[in-house]
Amino acid sequence: MTADSDANVDRTALDERIRRSWEELQAAVGSLDDGQLTAPGPDGWSVKDHLAHLAAWEGYLASAMDGRDGPEGLGLPADHDRNEEAINAALHARDAGRSADEVRRSMTDAHAAVVTRLRTLDQAELERSIRSIEGNTWQHYDEHRGWIAELLASQSV
């Protein structure tokens, strides 16, 4: 579903892919208790950390679609290092003290904002933003869902 700048993005297929991947992520984490959400994995990240990370990047996507790009779209200072690893480390440190409930709410809110905002994009805006949209929605959910599955498997050993 990736597109070149002149490719025609199928909005219905994109919406369906985002919905399906979101539901798969929710199915993977929806029944976890606070202990399972907050237990760190081998890399130091908990399920909650993965969810906070996803919420932050969806918030970024919503901000970018509104014309606010860069670290500020992630709630970081405008002069923050723009290196993805540095940004992810800063987000992880920032969100470490948040409760599982707070992270779940922020994730749900960020997702709702993205879905709502996507409905307002005209075709040209959608096509210009498709790589960022895919990378910060379904591709990102799928990537982290895999890491969450590995994390949970390591906890049950």
Quick one: pLDDT at residue 3?
Answer: 40
Q: What is the pLDDT of residues 59-118, one digit of tens each?
A: 999 998 988 877 778 888 888 888 889 999 999 999 999 999 999 999 999 999 999 999
* Average pLDDT value over all residues in the chain: 91
Quick one: pLDDT at residue 81?
Answer: 85
pTM summary value? 0.91
User: Within a domain: residue 4?
Assistant: no
As for how many domains the chain has, the answer is 1
User: Within a domain: residue 69?
Assistant: yes
Quick one: pLDDT at residue 66?
Answer: 86
User: Within a domain: residue 2?
Assistant: no
User: Within a domain: residue 108?
Assistant: yes
- Considering the chain, what percentage of its residues have pLDDT values greater than 70? 94
Quick one: pLDDT at residue 115?
Answer: 96
CA atoms 16, 95, 81, 62: torsion sign: positive
Quick one: pLDDT at residue 30?
Answer: 95
Nearest to 61 by CA among 141, 124, 155: 141
What are phi and psi for residue 155, nearest 5 degrees?
-75, -25
Quick one: pLDDT at residue 78?
Answer: 82
User: Within a domain: residue 34?
Assistant: no
Q: How many CA atoms lie within 13 A of 125 on its CB side?
A: 11
Q: Has residue 141 got a pLDDT over 80?
A: yes
Quick one: pLDDT at residue 7?
Answer: 61
User: Within a domain: residue 97?
Assistant: yes
From CA 116, how far away is CA 119, in angstroms rounded? Answer: 5
Give residue 144's domain range: 11-27+40-155
User: Within a domain: residue 6?
Assistant: no
Quick one: pLDDT at residue 157?
Answer: 63
CATH number at residue 49: 1.20.120
Q: Where are the alpha helices (DSSP H) in 41-83?
A: 47-65
Counted residue by residue, the chain has a size of 157
pLDDT band at residue 5 using 50, 70 and 90 as cut-offs = very low
User: Within a domain: residue 85?
Assistant: yes
Are 73 and 59 contacting, i.e. CB atoms less than 8 angstroms apart? yes
Quick one: pLDDT at residue 6?
Answer: 43
